[in-house]
């Protein structure tokens, strides 16, 4: 009996298993022969059937204990189907929120350069407090906050656009204002590509829909909201 290691997720893209190993900061596809063996194992769903040895040796799958659920399943998170509605570009927004968003964007750019991916994802999805029921935190909708954040993001040069720090910053910003969202990582197979974004339900909050739908979700993490 097997289960995915805690730091591993995967998805199927056009018959190819693609893995994300947070502990090693890397995405990778299985060699053709191993992929076929893993596909057969997955289709048979037989705990007694031999798991491909390379997955065991690289600590991608581990033995499931008797009190654990035997599960080696791909990410099944649904990609977004709509985007946040447009914010009135001439409308006002609180300067304090603008400064907060700008500070988070700069902070996450520094942290992405110096912190491993596993730590960054863990920090973005921590539970920060028990006061998310405070209605004062949620006077603005997640839609309006996300689009205010996007307006601040436009203050930065376009060559500094980077999906990982931007999505980490937005996730943290929204959590601070009482909204739990989902940080999603996705991949393409041919050619290989990786991307990340933020969504709430089926709504994409920080990207273009026609761009994001090219990617198959491989990992989805939802943080608890906070007021800190």
Is pLDDT at 156 greater than 90 in this prediction? Answer: no
145 and 96, same structural domain?
yes
Same domain, yes or no: 38 and 115: no
Task: State pLDDT tens for residues 137-151.
Answer: 556 889 889 999 999
Dist. CA 23–CA 124, nearest whole Å:
16
In this structure, the answer to whether residues 32 and 91 fall within a common structural domain is no
Question: Predicted confidence band at 123 (pLDDT cuts at 50, 70, 90)?
Answer: confident
What is the pTM for the complete model shown? 0.87
Number of domains in the chain: 2
Cα–Cα distances in angstroms (integers) from residue 171 to residues 13, 168, 186, in the given order: 26, 5, 16
Per-residue pLDDT tens over the stretch 183-199: 999 999 989 999 999 99
Query: Residue with structure tokens 């190993």?
Result: 21
CA dihedral 220, 123, 128, 155 (to 10 degrees): -90
User: Using one digit for the tens of pLDDT, what is the confidence trace for 95-114?
Assistant: 889 999 999 999 999 999 99
pLDDT at residue 139, as a whole number? 67
Domain that residue 92 falls in: 82-221
Q: Does the pLDDT value for residue 77 go beyond 90?
A: yes
Alpha-carbon gap, residue 39 to 16, rounded angstroms: 8
- What pairs with residue 11 in β-bridges? 18
Q: Kindly state whether residues 27 and 98 are assigned to the same domain.
A: no
**Residues facing 61 on adjacent strands:** 4
Question: Mean pLDDT over residues 60-70, rounded?
Answer: 72
86 and 118 housed in the same domain = yes
Q: How far apart are CA 195 and CA 204, in angstroms?
A: 13
- Say whether both 26 and 134 belong to one domain: no
């Amino acid at each position: 009996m097997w289960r995915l290691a805690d730091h591993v997720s995967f998805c199927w893209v056009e018959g190819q298993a693609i893995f994300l190993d947070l502990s090693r900061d890397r995405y990778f596809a299985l060699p053709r022969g191993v992929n076929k063996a893993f596909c057969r194992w997955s289709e048979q769903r037989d705990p007694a059937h031999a798991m491909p040895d390379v997955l065991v040796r690289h600590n991608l799958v581990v033995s499931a204990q008797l009190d654990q659920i035997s599960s080696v399943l791909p990410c099944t998170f649904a990609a977004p189907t709509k985007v946040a509605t447009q914010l009135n570009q001439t409308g006002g927004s609180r300067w304090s929120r603008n400064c907060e968003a700008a500070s988070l964007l700069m902070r996450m750019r520094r942290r992405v350069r110096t912190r491993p991916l596993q730590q960054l994802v863990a920090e973005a999805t921590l539970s920060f407090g028990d006061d998310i029921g405070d209605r004062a935190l949620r006077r603005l909708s997640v839609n309006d906050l996300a689009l205010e954040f996007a307006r601040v993001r436009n203050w930065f040069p376009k060559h500094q656009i980077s999906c990982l720090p931007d999505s980490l910053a937005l996730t943290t910003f929204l959590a601070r204002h009482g909204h739990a969202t989902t940080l999603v990582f996705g991949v393409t197979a041919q050619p290989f590509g990786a991307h990340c974004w933020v969504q709430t339900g089926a709504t994409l909050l920080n990207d273009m829909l026609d761009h994001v739908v090219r990617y198959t979700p491989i990992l989805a993490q939802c943080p608890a909201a906070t007021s800190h």
